[in-house]
Amino acid sequence: MSSLSHPNITKIYSWYITPDRKEGGIYMEYCDQGNLEDWLNVAKQTYEQDGTQIDAEFVLHVMEGLTSAVAYLHSGLDGGKCVIHRDIKPANIFLS
């Protein structure tokens, strides 16, 4: 995963698993805007309070980035194997 290079894929620098395989972690690019699930929850609260709707341009921007990233992963570009992401959900989509 650290060899992937796409503007819409969070850069992974390193990862680890403890010898007992009970813990692990990923050292990755900092995404200062959090994840899409948190953003959507705030947007929902804002809508319920004052009727402000999510900007359509933002939705298109996020969806274009997501589809571009998934297409890249599935294509096997950069001489690598095809990568299948098994858990695409708003909590796993980071914003920066």
Model confidence over 41-90: pLDDT tens digits?
Answer: 999 999 999 999 999 999 999 999 999 999 998 887 766 678 888 889 99
81: in domain: yes
**pTM confidence score:** 0.77
pLDDT (0 to 100) of residue 24:
96
Q: What residue numbers bound the domain in which 61 lies?
A: 32-92
1: in domain: no
pLDDT (0 to 100) of residue 78:
65
For 4-33, b/e burial (b = at least 16 CB within 10 A) is beeebbbeeeeeeeeeeeeeeeeeeeeeee
63: in domain: yes
Domains in the chain, number: 1
64: in domain: yes
Helices (H) then strands (E): counts for the chain: 2, 2
